[in-house]
Amino acid sequence: MDRLLEHTRREARYLGDGIVLVDSFLNHQVEPELMGLMGQLLAQGFEGVDRVLTAETSGLLPAFAAAQVLGVPMVFARKRRLKNLTDEVLGVDVLSRTAGETFRLSVSRRYLPQGQRVLLVDDFLARGNTLVGLLELCRMAGVEVAGLAVVFEKPFEGGRQQLGGLEVRSLVTIELDGDGVVFR
């Protein structure tokens, strides 16, 4: 955990308005060794889940890393419906904090079999919209949510309160501090 925190303090940039840029190691350029560490930390304590679920795009790599550690499949909800999604598709509309637009999260029911235990993973927890959408997809599919794990959480955005009291594991917490941020 210390290595991830140190790396974040060195590489992350605050853009203002609560936006933190981590593109040098998470969502544009990826450092495989650091991603492996994130996977280990995100997966810790969730042994026994059947799948890991995330939303494209920035949640893909942390979710994959966690799924690899757990030895289970990773499923990702798409942000647009593709013509080759022919199975019964579950969908929910979600407002994106960073894109500033609404998109439809879609996943094939086939990859969320009823009764399975699922770990939800994402890169950021800000306002909670994406995770709320993933929770709704899980409810629609009849799967049990074993837990939620995120790389970064911004408590000042209130996302945790949107998640119905579910426990959330955050690897790094971002707090506002005057005109900047503090990573803990």
Residue pair 147/167 in contact by the 8 Å Cβ criterion: yes
83 contacts: CB under 8 Å, gap ≥ 6: none
**Prediction pTM value:** 0.94
Residue pair 108/41 in contact by the 8 Å Cβ criterion: no
The CA distance from 84 to 66, in Å, is 27
- Domain segments of the chain as ranges: 2-183
Query: What local confidence, expressed as pLDDT, does residue 96 receive?
Result: 82
The CA distance from 27 to 123, in Å, is 8
Q: Are strands 168-177 and 144-153 parallel, antiparallel or unpaired?
A: parallel
Query: What local confidence, expressed as pLDDT, does residue 145 receive?
Result: 98
Structure tokens belonging to residue 47: 């042994």
- Would you identify the CATH topology of the domain 2-183? Rossmann fold (3.40.50)
User: What's 66's DSSP letter?
Assistant: H
Query: What local confidence, expressed as pLDDT, does residue 1 receive?
Result: 73
Q: What tens-digit pLDDT sequence spans the chain (184 residues)? A: 799 999 999 999 999 999 999 999 998 999 999 999 999 999 999 999 999 999 998 999 999 999 999 999 999 999 876 666 667 899 999 998 777 889 999 999 999 999 999 999 999 999 999 999 999 999 999 999 999 999 999 999 999 999 988 989 999 999 999 989 999 9
